[in-house]
Chains A and B, each alone.
Chain A
Amino acid sequence: MTDLSLADFQPLEPGQEIHGISRPSQSYWQDAWARLKVNKRALVSLYLVIGLLLFTIAGPWVWTVDPAQQDLDQVSRPPGADRNALIVADYAPWQTEGLSFGEGLKVVGDPTTQAVKLKWDAIPGANGHRIYRNIFPIGPERSYGIPRAEFFDNRVVTFEDRLDLKALTYYYVLVPLGPRGELLDNYEVIEVDVHRVTTIVEAVDRGLIEESANLQIGDEINLDWHPFGTDYLGRDLLARLMAGARVSLFIGIGAPFLFVLFGVFYGSIAGFVGGRVDQVMMRFADFVVALPFLLFMILFKISFGIGPGESGVFPMLVALVVLMWPATSRLVRGQILQIREQGYIHASQLLGAPTRYLILRHMIPNTLGVVLVTITFAIPSAIFTEAFLSFIGMGVAPPTPSWGSMSNEGIKTMLTTPHELIFPALFISITVLAFNLLGDGLRDALDARMRNQE
């Protein structure tokens, strides 16, 4: 208990030295912004987002390859695969007159990725023959490989293989057939080294050389370079990733932001107002969730008048927003129900704060933790839903790519050509990571309890 004297109650003289203000008074939002700017996580996510935007918008100016152009000589090539090719004559059906026989199973001419021509002598006792092709040597278990052709007439002694030839070593096996087409025991095998070729016409078509260039048969050239490899139709993966970024980022970020925004407002009004309004609003939300998604997607597409084969990105966005907001609203409402019983809300109300102020300034920022998580998860969900919809014809039409549909396609060849799946999945992961970090940073910045704790 200090001693008080009358002198303590003397009014202050004007102009007396008072402490300065250590820093300007900041509103809640200004403080949050300041903290966000130095938040490490938010910074990283900012760089990532900028990187993605650059990739999407500026990328096609730098890497000008057409995402729809098919390079059928380089289908499903991984990045860094070798691409040198010999020039040969254009393909012409094989004329088998004048071939000499008597040497058994042999290759005719040069085995190339254009065609492998085989000739053989009829095996004694055979009613017909079957040709197999293997990429492994034939061991004692007699697994011959892929059947390439069956001939039930033993006078047929030539075969031209053109199926999916790569620059590898193949083993061709000739197996005799019995009278009922069954495989007999003896077989002949030959090892064939195939090398990659292309024709002058194809090289000119793909812009590898000028038309006037003096290229001869037997010269070597390099086929197109694809830094990320090619997909199942020989299209450049990097170009497709750039083109796909537009659709995926637009839908994948646009849709979640919109429906979360709507869900937040809807849920906070329902949660705060309560009573009958709340009940009706929530029942309506239940109603929307229970509707069969696919059916209504189809309806949306039709009512937007998208023609056959046209890309319906906007209707898809609208449909995603309209059909996915209920979950967020329910979540937000739950949070609001908790928060509105807090002390500071009552205090604000006593001070005469209008409902709108309470919702905007107090409640929504406090639900942000939950909301940001929802957005982070909604992004890949929207991307994959878009892929599914495009696949069944409700979204973007071929050949427009999107990361989700590229992932779907890549799954089929996951074990043989994983790069077709890895790259789009990687980009999706990066996007998710970016917004995840942003969400963390935002939440840290907006958390009122961490205010003034620098």
Chain B
Amino acid sequence: MAVTDTPIDSEESFARSAGKQLAIYALYALVLLASLIYVFSLVAGRTGSGTSGGAVDVANNSVTTTLRQEPPQLDAGRSTDASSFVVLAHVMEGLLAYDDNMQLIPGMAERWEVREDGATFWIRDEALWSNGDSVTAHDFEFAWKRVVDPDTASEYAFILYPILNAEAITQGELPKEMLGVQAVDDQTLEVQFAQPTPYFDKLVAFNTYLPLQQEFYESTDGRYGADAEYMIYNGPYVVEEWIHGASMLWRKNPTYWGDHKGFLDEINAAYITTDINAKLNLFKDGQIAETQLLAPMLPEAMEKRWQIDRVMDGTVFFLEFNHREGRITDNWHFRRAMQLAQSSDELVYKVLKEAAYLPAVSLFPVWIQGLNDIFRTEYPPIEHKLNVQLAREHLEMARQELGLEEFPPIVFLTGDTPISILSSEYYQELYKQNLGLEIRIDVQNFKQRLAKMTSGEFDVVVAGWGPDYDDPLTFGDFFASWNLNNRGRYNSPEMDAQVRIAQAELDPKKRLDAFGEIQRIVYEDVTLIPMYERGWAFVVDPRLKGFKRRSVGPEVDFNFAYIEEVED
């Protein structure tokens, strides 16, 4: 073997002295490192998470939590994402609000009246902004007119469509002053409907209907909602500090009118990350008060004797078909074949294995209310049975109708989240086994997936829909042919007729009958194949009570949370 040609003992001593030299250098490096770290820590303090008293700070009546993402901005009229919904649900309040059982209660409005042609809201005297001004009906009028103004470019403007002229204004056909809402005086707000809207009271609890004080808005010179100081608040908390990308601090609002909400003095969203494992580690370390649990985390949670809870998160996920002409998926027999060859049970119970997911059986999720009871109890969905034999027959009929020798590959468009890819892989193998179809999985990120959906470049897309308000219509109108969200371009006159009834019918029973029909059409016409209803399994620090996770409204709700010492 090759060897250097210096004698052995000199090699040894050479190695030793070189080693010593290295050790000295390493020491130098460490000292340099330490001094650098010190310097850096001074700089880092500026953008830091701030100190927190751990998950639950009994002395200061404060809790620490996390946000999944940074809210892009807190302008209620324009916000579209879940994080800003969470923040706004704590620092603002609309005409109506929800109590801890998701029942509508008076908010800014102390009483209201919903009629066939419109609604009236009476604003309470004691409602104040955090700068001391009263909340008036003018604030609502200004806010809503701003939302429908096409210059504002609010993506949620559609939720104001029940108001007279709202739709025309967003199309740019009418000026925003023509919106059917007026502040008759400081305490009275009048609304005219474009058509009868019996669920209007549920709508006004939504984010986009929040008030905005014109004077303050104009004083921020276009920066409204961009930072904590560019906002005024009328909810139980105010945003005291907002360090972008790092943390947010909410403090109890002294000017809030009520004492039925806001029992904590301080809520500290000290960490912003989407990584659920990191959140679990923070929880284990006692730094945050609650966290989600994914299926692989459950055994450990049980071992640690945590109290695990679960709640539906409100969304339904389904396989949406491309109903455009010329597409194979436009053929009813083909869709029926795909529907019969699968069962959402196996997907949820054997593949996804999330404890809080439910197999979906309908367009409407399990928690939607009907007349006196759960909607799906009063209008049971058609029972679905796996039937591979029948599916193959339908497939054959589709093949003949389409005049194909054999089926080309079917493109499954999916997002880049682990669960959608997992579901797609499951379906790919399932349909190969049961129907002999070749499925190609097209993984795209969010924006690209939306672009492909809008332009119709897919056969089947793994899609989901979440509720905006607590009424079946938020799901029911999805497949109306005029609905822009109906990216599969499903077009059925029968469906359209039922949606129109559901939108305008005053008799609650007839309205629910229409939803029942919509549910039936969706199954029989195979508008989509329901996959699962998403839910969250989560654990909460035992000292924190009253914490809620919601199906409609903000994902996490601390409005009714309070600290209670736990005796050992």
Contact = CB atoms under 8 A, between A and B. Distances in A.
Verify whether A and B have any Cβ pair under 8 Å: yes
B305 interface: yes
Interface stretch (B85-93, B408-416, B462-470, B488-496): B408-416
Interface string B422-435: 10111011101100
Interface in B290-320: 294-296, 298-300, 302-303, 305-310
Interface stretch (A7-15, A44-52, A319-327, A391-399): A391-399
B312 to A, nearest CB: 10
A398 B2 contact: no
A136 interface: yes
A142 B348 CA distance: 28
Given A180-B101, A309-B440, A415 B429 contact: no
Contact of B2 (A72, A132, A444): A444
Interface string A322-362: 00000000000000000000000000000000000000000
A308 B438 CA distance: 13
A172 to B, nearest CB: 13
Interface residues of B, number: 53
Contact of B355 (A143, A147, A205): A147
Contact of A398 (B296, B351, B421, B445): B421
Contact of B411 (A146, A308, A417): A308
B440 A397 contact: yes
Contacts of B355: 146-148, 163
A146 B308 contact: yes
B418 interface: yes
B440 A308 contact: yes
B186 to A, nearest CB: 37
Given A397-B440, A398-B424, A412 B296 contact: yes
Interface in A126-184: 132, 134-136, 139, 141-148, 162-164, 180-181
Nearest to B457: A308
Given A135-B299, A309-B441, A233 B425 contact: yes
B346 interface: yes
A68 B353 contact: no
A143 B349 contact: no
A429 interface: no
B305 A393 contact: no
Contacts of B422: 232-233
Contacts of A233: 351, 422, 425-426, 429
B442 to A, nearest CB: 4
A69 interface: yes
A309 B409 CA distance: 10
Interface in A430-452: 444, 447, 450
A224 to B, nearest CB: 15
B8 interface: no
A134 B355 CA distance: 12
B193 to A, nearest CB: 34
B350 interface: yes
B353 A146 contact: no
Contact of A143 (B306, B421, B443): B306
Interface string B48-85: 00000000000000000000000000000000000000
B2 A164 contact: no
Chain A: number of interface residues, binned into ranges: 35 or more
B537 A146 contact: yes
B303 A136 contact: yes
Contacts of B299: 135, 416
A413 interface: yes
Contact of A415 (B296, B309, B424, B537): B296
A208 to B, nearest CB: 15
Contacts, number: 120
A236 B421 CA distance: 19
Nearest to B429: A70
A397 B425 CA distance: 10
Interface string B223-264: 000000000000000000000000000000000000000000
A399 B433 CA distance: 14
Contact of B302 (A134, A148, A308, A393): A134
Contact of B445 (A68, A145, A393, A453): A393
A422 interface: no
B460 to A, nearest CB: 11
B444 interface: yes
Interface in B334-376: 345-346, 348-351, 353, 355-356
A359 to B, nearest CB: 26
A310 interface: yes
Contacts of B36: none
A399 B442 contact: no
B308 A399 contact: no
Nearest to B312: A150
Given A145-B308, A164-B350, A308-B442, A399 B429 contact: yes
A75 interface: yes
A139 B305 contact: yes
A70 B427 CA distance: 11
B349 A453 contact: no
A393 B351 CA distance: 21
B445 A163 contact: no
Contacts of B294: 412
30 contacts: A68-B428, A68-B429, A69-B429, A135-B299, A135-B302, A144-B307, A145-B308, A146-B308, A146-B310, A147-B308, A147-B309, A147-B310, A147-B356, A164-B295, A164-B349, A164-B353, A232-B422, A233-B351, A233-B425, A307-B440, A309-B411, A391-B416, A392-B445, A397-B440, A399-B428, A412-B294, A412-B296, A416-B299, A416-B300, A417-B296
The 3 closest A-B pairs by CB, nearest first: A309-B440, A393-B443, A308-B442
Interface of B: 2-3, 101, 294-296, 298-300, 302-303, 305-310, 345-346, 348-351, 353, 355-356, 383, 409, 411-413, 416, 418, 421-422, 424-426, 428-430, 432-433, 439-445, 457-458, 537
